[in-house]
Structure 1
Amino acid sequence: MSTEVTLPALGESVTEGTVSRWLKEVGEHVDADEPLLEVSTDKVDTEIPSPASGTLLEIKFNEDDVAPVGAVLGIVGEPSEQGSAPAPEQATPTAPAGTVEQAEEAPTPTEPAPAAPAEPSAPAPAGGSSDATEVLLPALGESVTEGTVSRWLKEVGEEVDADEPLLEVSTDKVDTEIPSPAAGVLLEIKVKEDEVAEVGSVLGVVGSPDAAAAAPEPDKGAPASAAPAASVAPTPEPVGAAPAASAAPAAQAPAAPARAAEPTPVAPRATGEDGPYVTPLVRKMAADNGVDLNSITGTGVGGRIRKQDVLDAAEAAKKAAEAPAPAAAAAAPAAAQPSAKPVPDESGKRGTTEKMSRMRTVIASRMVESLQTAAQLTATVEVDLTAISQLRKKVKDEFRRREGTGLTYLAFISKATTEALKAFPNINASIDGKNVVYHDAENLGIAVDTPRGLIVPVIKNAGDLNVGGIAKQIADLASRGRDNQLGPDELSGATFTITNYGSAGTLFDTPVINQPNSGILGTGALVKRPVVVSDQFGNDTIAIRDMMYISLTYDHRLIDGAVAARFLSAVKARLEEGAFGGEFGL
């Protein structure tokens, strides 16, 4: 009996997801709860497990298709059920998801085609057939009607596996790979690099060399862009050779030095054809930094090579190359040494232009939306954290040994904040139309800086945790957030947010509210400063203290300035008192 694979709820306010990649092909066996496909939303990338053991019988949403929550993504069942399914109709450019492949029978010639080459054509790849399959531009998101071909990852005549990335397409919302709908040889490129194509249009044709040999000779009067580039099946050129032009016979194709100078994208997988998948961004970054992907062991899910893996490898190579530099610098005359060492541009982006990533686009949209929605003001207080510093110094080593994680200042600040939220419920509230929703729990969002951009994982029921519990939650969520291993539910539901901009040295800032929250607390850098200290008798002295600025951006629609000030004063008093020793047995 077949089982439908549906798109589950992926978090609060998430109504749809984009199929990033199918991990199984139609006809492959899958176990229950084994990851079957990957889905991306504006909050998280996640795997969808198979609901049952069996064979993947049908894929209803192809890669890069957008599916609503609850939609049937595919069907898993017994192999015997596969043959009973009705044959799919021939796909058109407006065909729905799941019918992208077009099984178009190639005409059988009654006599040898005049354009057939004298030399033998390239051998048919494993799994290929004599059919030609059109590569269509799928829907790439809501309101996206066209895309620009950034780069073809295969040349005409090269073999390609089913679901192997075939080309890269750029839109105003996302840069993505288009996988091959079938195994075979790239017979024709219909839309060249830097050309714009509408959603549903044919980008190229994949099939077996037999399909190319059997195809009728193109009309000589037809425009060059319409002539099949693969009417003769060219022998695959060696790696690094200039590609044949898609609009002319291979023998007359002009050289393409710009294309030949690029890193040849013949290895979309990190460790051979069966190795972990590597995204175009990671491949480009590896090429820009001179990193061999085959030399890297990926730390991502399933051994996937992540952006950070490439950066780490590049940094290691850089340090190895710079190792003899200090000795050479010491031998140089002092007068030749520059007065200040310039800061290098390690990103390699100076003087370049690039498309905004999908996450950066989402962040930008939400920040502007927040500023347009709420009447935002920021209040700041200065807090003496010397008592916290002394307590932390006594217990941090034992805490790390026992719990396996560090005891940060942010954990103490978070604890003091949750206590203040209980005393000021309107700061732990949200505006819903003309109603005010006072939340019954303190779900604390913690802003985390990741290589992909800013994310806000949530500590649920943080008001029920002690300092140690909050410290462990912060460390766990931050670590998994940077590795892109958080689930959708862990990135939604915050009732109040804290951002630690001081970790990079900033003294104070005016953070933007994380909607639909009504406030966000920002913590500045901890610095030693001379301050005036009064003793119990009212005598004033100057002492060196550990000081920090703490800012509260609040929604003035709901929170008055006096309430914001009292909230900050409560947090300040709790931290300066430093009475958290009981939690650590002191």
Structure 2
Amino acid sequence: MAIDIKAPTFPESVAEGTVAAWHKKPGDSVERDELIVEIETDKVVLEVVAPEAGTLTDVMAEEGETVESEQVLGKIGEASAASGKEDKSSDDASAKKPAEKSEEKKASAGNGSGKKHDVKAPSFPESIQEGTVATWHKKVGEAVKRDEVLADIETDKVVLEVVAPADGALAEIKAEEGSQVESEAVLAIFAEGAGDESATIADKTPAASADDGSGDEKIGDKILAPAARKMVAEHDLDVAKIDGTGKGGRILKEDVQKAVKDGSAKKASASAPAKAAAAPAVEGERIEKRVPMSRLRQTIAKRLVQAQQTAAMLTTYNEVDMSEIMALRAQYKDTFQKAHDIKLGFMGFFVKAASEALKRFPDVNASIDGTDIVYHGYQDIGVAVSTDRGLVVPVLRDTDSMKIADVERAIVDFGKRGRDGKLGMDDMIGGTFTITNGGTFGSLMSTPIINPPQTAILGMHKIQDRPMAVNGKVEIRPMMYLALSYDHRMIDGKDAVRFLVTIKELLEDPARLLLDV
């Protein structure tokens, strides 16, 4: 009986994905939970694994095709479907068995650790050219269990885990931390069996050299990791002045960062004029570079345009006097940090004010599903967090019941995990409203774009001292522009304005948050 291979269930904010890579071809046998295909969305790359062991019989969505949530991608038949192929090669295999057995015996006799495996990097989707070995969680010779995480590969989109193929130990690491690796590159040699015995292999393995295939380069008597080599070139450092702390004196990225910080590896000043003279500007030269747009960027562009074309999007603006919030923050920031071990920021106040306003204006907290309106009896607010890979929007759950300290702690955690690439799909699913803070980057005013199927998004901006009329007098006040973009199909203009005014009033008089007035 054929079993359907389906795309994962996408969150509400993700309308579709793209088939990035098939790791199996029709006719290939697969094991249960083995990776078959990757689906790329504008948030993350999702892995689709085999629901049962068998043979891949049909591929119904080719690489590059756009698929929807839970769409059938292919089919798996019974394992017997591939038996003919296996039987066909059985005669050849039997002829090779004596030789293979003798080789296995030699290998086993040599190290006592059983069968060897290549530990490879995952197959990257088309939009990712290479990754960086971020962390090795196991050392050479350390015993590990099957499916235990060996290493993390960091790409510009997500962090991918590399797991052990069997019980055993790492015999040799071929790509050190900081190394750049390509799709399916060999990262290490893994030996089945006891970990203690495999450690002897590493002791006999020489340090990486310029021609060992790991990407290291030898300059003089120094061996540089790829990431370190790149940083040395960027800062024009003298390699001879850098001390390596890696295996065999290998110079790692951290060593170069330390040298840059303390300025101990600068080249002689005489080389500066030569460098300036070596690269004269070509008068009249106008350089252009054309590169294909990544599949991920194409998906993001498509969703942004779709959001503007689908929603009847309008934006209303207001401004808030931040004097009271800033005074409150200045008065209690030290006490707050001692009590909760977290800094008191502005986002906690905005999240609490938005939660209260959403309760008073349920239309702003609703979403549109086809011809239906879904009213949410809870407030799950997405907060835009900036990372090196771009903007991500993890969701705070049940913000009405959260304290300001809980909000601030969760946002710091989101920021850290976002920078480390550790945010998962569960963190970004199901928001009912979004807050984005362009003021972090100095934006004075902007028009945020709604995150479908939500019907509104609040934009915060830079706090700017401006002259304001207060009780008939001109005073300098710290002011912030607020922008609320909303879907006019769902929210009337007067409700959008009143919603924003409510947030303004709650922030200008924080006591309202405590008194619920």
Q: Taking structure 1 as reference, are residues 526 and 480 closer, same or farther at Cα in structure 2, changes over 3 Å only?
A: same
List aligned pairs for 1:179-328, cutoff 5 A: 272-273=188-189, 289=231, 318-319=260-261
1:388 partner SS: helix
Counterpart residue type for residue 44 of structure 1: V
Structure with greater helix percent? 2
* Contact residue 57 and residue 74 of structure 1 kept, 8 A: no
Shift of 1:47: 7.2
Structure with greater strand percent? 2
2:511 partner SS: coil
For the pair 1:559 / 2:491, whether they are aligned, the reply is yes
* Contact residue 7 and residue 39 of structure 2 kept, 8 A: no
Counterpart residue type for residue 552 of structure 1: L
Find the aligned partners of 1:484 and 1:353 in 2 and give their Cα distance: 28
1:406-461 Cα deviation digits (max 9, x unpaired): 22111101111111111111111222333332222111111222222222211122
Report the equivalent of 1:44.
44
Unpaired runs of at least 5, structure 1: 76-83, 92-98, 108-122, 128-159, 178-262, 298-308, 333-349, 535-539
Find the aligned partners of 2:398 and 2:46 in 1 and give their Cα distance: 24
Tell me how large the CA RMSD over aligned residues is: 5.6
**Relative to structure 2, which stretch is displaced further, 39-48 or 572-581?**
39-48
Q: Taking structure 1 as reference, are residues 560 and 44 closer, same or farther at Cα in structure 2, changes over 3 Å only?
A: same
Find the aligned partners of 1:400 and 1:50 in 2 and give their Cα distance: 48
Counterpart residue type for residue 397 of structure 2: K
Q: Taking structure 1 as reference, are residues 37 and 458 closer, same or farther at Cα in structure 2, changes over 3 Å only?
A: farther
Shift of 1:519: 1.0
1:326-350 Cα deviation digits (max 9, x unpaired): x989xx9xxxxxxxxxxxxxxxxx9
TM-score where L is the length of structure 2? 0.56
Find the aligned partners of 2:21 and 2:180 in 1 and give their Cα distance: 24
Q: Taking structure 1 as reference, are residues 267 and 499 closer, same or farther at Cα in structure 2, changes over 3 Å only?
A: closer
Q: Taking structure 1 as reference, are residues 375 and 287 closer, same or farther at Cα in structure 2, changes over 3 Å only?
A: farther
Report the equivalent of 2:403.
466
* Contact residue 120 and residue 187 of structure 2 kept, 8 A: no
Aligned length: 376
For the pair 1:526 / 2:463, whether they are aligned, the reply is yes
Report the equivalent of 1:549.
481
1:564 partner SS: helix
List aligned pairs for 1:131-530, cutoff 5 A: 164=120, 170=126, 174-175=127-128, 272-273=188-189, 289=231, 318-319=260-261, 352-530=289-467
TM-score where L is the length of structure 1? 0.50
Find the aligned partners of 2:305 and 2:348 in 1 and give their Cα distance: 29
Report the equivalent of 2:176.
none
**Relative to structure 2, which stretch is displaced further, 488-497 or 467-476?**
467-476
Shift of 1:511: 0.7
Q: Taking structure 1 as reference, are residues 582 and 166 closer, same or farther at Cα in structure 2, changes over 3 Å only?
A: closer
Find the aligned partners of 2:344 and 2:479 in 1 and give their Cα distance: 18
Report the equivalent of 1:86.
80
Counterpart residue type for residue 462 of structure 1: T
Find the aligned partners of 2:408 and 2:424 in 1 and give their Cα distance: 20
1:470 partner SS: helix
Counterpart residue type for residue 376 of structure 2: H
Find the aligned partners of 1:267 and 1:436 in 2 and give their Cα distance: 44
| 2:502 corresponds to which of 570, 574, 581 | 570
1:135-186 Cα deviation digits (max 9, x unpaired): xxxxxxxxxxxxxxxxxxxxxxxxx98684699885xxx3568xxxxxxxxx
Shift of 1:527: 2.4
Unpaired runs of at least 5, structure 2: 94-99, 105-115, 131-178, 191-201, 203-213, 215-224, 234-238, 247-251, 274-286
Find the aligned partners of 2:180 and 2:399 in 1 and give their Cα distance: 50
